[in-house]
Amino acid sequence: MPELRIRPATSFLDYAPVSLTFGTSGLRGLVKDITDLEAYINVKAALRYLLSIGDIHASSGVVIAGDLRPSTDRIMRACAQAIVDLGCQVENAGKIPTPALISHAISARRAGVMVSGSHIPFDRNGIKLNKSVGEVLKQDEPGITREVERVRVEEYSRTATKSAFDASGMLKQSPDLPPIARAAEEAYVRRYLNSFTCGGLSGLHVLVYQHSAVGRDILPRILRELGAEVVTAGRSETFVSIDTENITDEQVNRLEELAVAAEASGRPVHAIVSTDGDSDRPLLTAVLTAAEVHPGGRRVRFLPGDLLGIVVAEYLRAAGYRVFPVNPEVGRPSGDPAYPSLQDIPLPIDVVTVFRRPEFIPAVVEAALAVAAKALWLQDGVVHPEAAQRAEAAGLRVVMDRCIRRDHRRLLAGSAAPPSSKPLGP
Cβ 344 vs Cβ 425: under 8 Å: no
The catalytic residue positions are 118
**Sheet of 351-354: strands edge to edge?**
322-323, 423-425, 351-354, 375-378, 397-399
Q: How far apart are the first and last CA of the chain?
A: 34
Cβ 112 vs Cβ 84: under 8 Å: no
CA dist 349 and 330 (Å) reads 22
CA dist 190 and 209 (Å) reads 22
Burial 182-216 (b: 16+ CB within 10 A, else e): eebbeebbebbeebbeeeebeeebbbbbbbbbbbb
- DSSP labels, 97-148: -HHHHHHHHHHTT-EEEEE--TTS-TTEEEEEEEETTEE--GGGHHHHHHHH
- Of 60, 38, 65, 33, the closest CA to residue 48 belongs to 60
Centre a 10 Å sphere on the Cβ of residue 359 and count the other Cβ atoms it contains.
14
CA dist 377 and 173 (Å) reads 48
- Strand 229-233 versus strand 271-275 pairing type: unpaired
Largest Cα–Cα separation, the chain: 75
CA dist 412 and 418 (Å) reads 8
CA dist 364 and 342 (Å) reads 9
CA dist 63 and 112 (Å) reads 5
**Sheet of 229-233: strands edge to edge?**
229-233, 205-209, 271-275, 282-287, 300-303
